[in-house]
Amino acid sequence: MSDKELPFGIFLLALLQGLQALGLFLVGGLWLLLPILGLFIAIPFGIAGLFGLFIAIGLFTLQEYAWTWSFFLNILGFIMYLFSWNFFGVILSAIIVVYLNLPDIKNKFNLE
């Protein structure tokens, strides 16, 4: 495997991040069916969707900012899931944080 070859785990994370972003766009678009109020609700969904696509593209291209944001958002998700008693989310976030901190994965993002 070359130094900049995309690991399968990162490919999966990037794909899921992209799908989540598209889902945010879809939900935001559905809110646009409601006049005026829907626009105010749809705008944050659109912004979150753009941010999600930004992270997904960064993961596909092994950018350092994508690693940082993925790490930060999964730590935040871990805490939020813990307080909402969503143990599936806690476990998933923990696995992602551990995976992102593997030496080989950090090396792919030029972090070590």
Could you tell me if 69 and 15 are in contact, meaning their C-beta atoms sit under 8 angstroms apart?
A: no
Q: How far apart are CA 109 and CA 30, in angstroms?
A: 36
Domain locations in the chain? 8-107
Confidence class for position 3, pLDDT limits 50, 70, 90: low
Q: Which two tokens stand for residue 61?
A: 């291209």
Predicted structure pTM score: 0.83
Q: Over 70: is that where the pLDDT of 1 sits?
A: no
Reported as a single tens digit per residue, the pLDDT across 70-95 is: 999 999 889 988 988 989 889 999 99
Q: Over 90: is that where the pLDDT of 8 sits?
A: yes
Q: Over 80: is that where the pLDDT of 112 sits?
A: no
For the chain, the farthest-separated pair of C-alpha atoms sits apart, in whole angstroms, at 53
Q: Over 50: is that where the pLDDT of 106 sits?
A: yes
How many CB atoms are located within 10 Å of the residue 43 CB? 13
